[in-house]
Amino acid sequence: MCGVEKALDEFYRLKRAKDRHMSRCKVCWKARQRDINVRRAARPTVVLPETVLCLTCRRTLPAAMFALNRTRTRGCQSRCKDCHREKRYGLARGEYDLRLEAQSGLCAICEQPPVEGKQLEVDHCHGAGHVRGLLCGPCNRMLGAARDNVATLEAAIEYLKGGGD
Query: Is the alpha carbon torsion for 65, 70, 73, 78 positive or negative?
Result: negative
**104-165 topology per CATH:** His-Me finger endonuclease fold (3.40.1800)
Domains 45-93 and 104-165 share a fold: no
In this predicted structure, what is the pLDDT of residue 164?
A: 61
At the top level of CATH, which class does the domain 45-93 belong to? Answer: alpha beta
**Is the Cβ–Cβ distance between 52 and 74 less than 8 Å?**
yes
Residues of the chain short of pLDDT 70, as ranges, are: 164-165
**Is the Cβ–Cβ distance between 55 and 78 less than 8 Å?**
yes
In this predicted structure, what is the pLDDT of residue 52?
A: 94
In this predicted structure, what is the pLDDT of residue 165?
A: 63
What is this structure's pTM? 0.69
In this predicted structure, what is the pLDDT of residue 128?
A: 84
d(CA 84, CA 105) in angstroms, rounded, equals 20
**Is the Cβ–Cβ distance between 140 and 121 less than 8 Å?**
yes
Every domain of the chain and the residues it spans: 8-42, 45-93, 104-165
